[in-house]
Structure 1
Amino acid sequence: MQNATEKKNPFSLPVNLENRPVTVIGAGTLGRRIALMFCTRGGEVRIYDLSEEQRQQAVEFVQQQLPAVTASVPGGTEGRIFSSGDLTIALKDAWLIIEAIPERLDLKKKVFGELDKLADFDAIIASNSSSYPTSQFLDFVEHPERVLNAHFYMPPTQNAIDIMSSGSTDRGVIDFLLEELPRYGVFPFEARKESTGFIFNRVWAAIKRESLALVAQGVSTPSELDQMCQINMHTKIGPFRLMDKVGLDVVLDIENHYAAENPHLPVGPRQLLHQYVDAGYLGVKTGRGFYNDYL
């Protein structure tokens, strides 16, 4: 297997996938769910995180959910989940690396430089970022042709993925993932132009922002608006439950990013989110968000 010392070789698509792991960088809410989906084909998945507690919780989550999720994937076979706080070990031999760390541009630039330096020469490096295009992460990357966005929603229940070029991504990488990812029970759709928010998230952002505005203005409450959405749109949960699942700190980070690009957006939705985040009410992961029945 070739490694980072051989990075002067031209990029080529990864081979021998069945004997190589997928590595997820970040053991948070989405990182562990992404790892779960890639663990349904009998191979090894690695989770890297500096927090031992987060790594342990992520491994336990995957192990608990894996039997049922694997059974729902055609041809699925339970794989192996492994975690590490050593980035070199986590990346060794990986054919696909997915970054799922907080939405901080400075941090992502640094991490992508490290991933590009340490990963095998043919590894694909993707970002799960929900708001930043990977064209903004390339400052320290020598091989941008293998970098792209692969944005997941909330697997295993929301299994669409946005695939978007960094602007320098090899066309073969995009075509390869469009064909390969459905084997893991996830379904990619290509954003054919660079787009903040990609595809579905642009629609979701409008719903989310207007929902927050209605509550911020005192027109409705989170639970009542969720009930209306469930009745009228036939959804299992409404936007406020969904924001609680994502994490209100993550939702606020994304809204701040949208506002930085478009200063004309209303401030009420962000102010409402700040009230909860500043109080430590981040949603499901802290036991309380817009709802307080998660404990």
Structure 2
Amino acid sequence: MAFTLPTDIENRPVAVIGAGTLGRRIALMFTTQGGLVRIFDKSPKAGDAARAYLDENMAPVAARTEGGKPGRVVITDDMPDALADAWLVVEAVPERLDLKKEIFGELDREAAPDAILASNSSSYATSEFIDRVQHPERVLNMHFYMPPVQNAIDIMSDGHTDPAIMDLLKARLPRYGVHPFEAHKESTGFIFNRIWAAIKREALSVVAEGVSTPQDVDEMWKINMGTPAGPFRMMDQVGLDVVLDIENHYAAENPALPAGPRELLKKYVDAGHLGVKTGQGFYTHDTPS
């Protein structure tokens, strides 16, 4: 079924569903051209944290974007208010398949008929959670990494996505300082995350087997790769619970994957040591976010 592309994009808002670490960062990028972004979250605490983050970062990030100027942000706990006349809706809720199925059924019912519905899922293909969607031709994966620092995006069809959506996003998204790359066939982990998952898994295996420590792996990585952080510090940033969820998803698809990395992660998660957000993970962090 053909999809009617959204019109008058310059004068219509973007909606972000979820005010967590990535949701607020995604929203930030869509404020860089002076437009309106609405963020939906039922948690007042998450909404307040998102507001503080955006107030601090909107002006400097817009200044670094070509033709940029700070936009406006509305944070709401009312889904219809968030979706009203949005040309693009980006889901950024936790990596739970049941939750994503519920959310996308609601988005398909409530969003404007020409709205593009995108998931920021880091591990699930949208084909896995569109069983309640009547218009799968407007749904796709649009996976962000950690903007405004890591600004590549994977885009991937749900198997029904109108190709014109891909063309529109490839042309439009760079205006906001983010850069889309299309996965041309369905791939768990898309492009970069599929490669990164193998790196994380092997780093975890090296520690789980007692070969090295998280700190030594990271120091070697920094020296050899010339990066400011290694795999374990980056996993702390993401959240070890999220990393474990992703690893469990890969293992469900491929039972031959080693169990050691998941067992190591589970020890930390069971102890409540989730990384930066709890102040303790593979590292101790002074100021939990």
Instruction: Establish whether TM, by shorter chain, passes 0.5.
Output: yes
Structure 1 residue 294, shift from structure 2 partner? 3.2
Structure 1 residue 247, shift from structure 2 partner? 1.0
Alignment of 1:43 onto 2:35: yes
Q: Please, which of 98, 101, 125 is the counterpart of residue 106 of structure 1?
A: 98
Structure 1 unaligned residues grouped into runs of 5+: 1-8
Map 1:31-180 onto structure 2 (within 5 A): 31-180=23-172
Q: For the residues of structure 2 that align with 1:103 and 1:161, how far apart are their CA atoms?
A: 18
Structure 1 residue 10, shift from structure 2 partner? 6.7
Q: Please, which of 258, 265, 268 is the counterpart of residue 276 of structure 1?
A: 268
Tell me if structure 1 keeps the 8 A contact 2:90–2:120.
Answer: yes
Deviations 1:79-132 (A, max 9, x none): 111111110101001110001111111111111000000000000000000111
Q: Please give the root-mean-square deviation of Cα atoms over the aligned residues, in Å.
A: 1.1
The residue type equivalent to 1:273 in the other structure is: L
Deviations 1:131-174 (A, max 9, x none): 11101111110111100000001111110000000000001001
TM-score (norm 2): 0.97
Structure 2 unaligned residues grouped into runs of 5+: none
Deviations 1:167-189 (A, max 9, x none): 00001001100110000000000
Q: Please, which of 169, 180, 191 is the counterpart of residue 183 of structure 2?
A: 191
188-197 or 66-75, which moves further after superposition?
66-75
Structure 1 residue 281, shift from structure 2 partner? 1.3
Secondary structure in 2 aligned to 1:288? coil
The residue type equivalent to 1:289 in the other structure is: G
The residue type equivalent to 1:162 in the other structure is: D
Q: Which runs of 4+ in 1 moved over 3 A?
A: none
Q: In structure 2, what is the equivalent of residue 4 of structure 1?
A: none
Q: In structure 2, what is the equivalent of residue 14 of structure 1?
A: 6
Q: In structure 2, what is the equivalent of residue 6 of structure 1?
A: none
Q: For the residues of structure 2 that align with 1:280 and 1:199, how far apart are their CA atoms?
A: 31
Q: Please, which of 256, 264, 289 is the counterpart of residue 248 of structure 2?
A: 256
Tell me if structure 2 keeps the 8 A contact 1:11–1:121.
Answer: no
Q: Please, which of 190, 196, 215 is the counterpart of residue 207 of structure 2?
A: 215
Q: Please, which of 173, 190, 198 is the counterpart of residue 181 of structure 1?
A: 173
Q: For the residues of structure 2 that align with 1:18 and 1:234, how far apart are their CA atoms?
A: 40
Q: For the residues of structure 2 that align with 1:21 and 1:124, how far apart are their CA atoms?
A: 12
Tell me if structure 1 keeps the 8 A contact 2:28–2:54.
Answer: yes
Q: For the residues of structure 1 that align with 2:239 and 2:64, how far apart are their CA atoms?
A: 26
Q: For the residues of structure 1 that align with 2:171 and 2:228, how far apart are their CA atoms?
A: 30
The residue type equivalent to 1:33 in the other structure is: R
Secondary structure in 1 aligned to 2:131? helix
The residue type equivalent to 1:40 in the other structure is: T
Alignment of 1:246 onto 2:238: yes
Structure 1 residue 292, shift from structure 2 partner? 0.4
Deviations 1:55-83 (A, max 9, x none): 11011111111122111111111011111
Structure 1 residue 293, shift from structure 2 partner? 2.6
Q: For the residues of structure 2 that align with 1:265 and 1:275, how far apart are their CA atoms?
A: 18
Q: For the residues of structure 2 that align with 1:72 and 1:280, how far apart are their CA atoms?
A: 37
Structure 1 residue 250, shift from structure 2 partner? 0.8
Q: Are residues 74 and 273 of structure 1, via their aligned partners in 2, closer, same or farther at CA, if it must alter by over 3 Å?
A: same
Percent pairwise identity: 66
Give the length in aligned residue pairs: 287
Secondary structure in 2 aligned to 1:113? helix
Secondary structure in 2 aligned to 1:103? coil
Structure 1 residue 270, shift from structure 2 partner? 0.7
Tell me if structure 1 keeps the 8 A contact 2:2–2:162.
Answer: no
Q: In structure 2, what is the equivalent of residue 236 of structure 1?
A: 228
Tell me if structure 2 keeps the 8 A contact 1:280–1:286.
Answer: yes
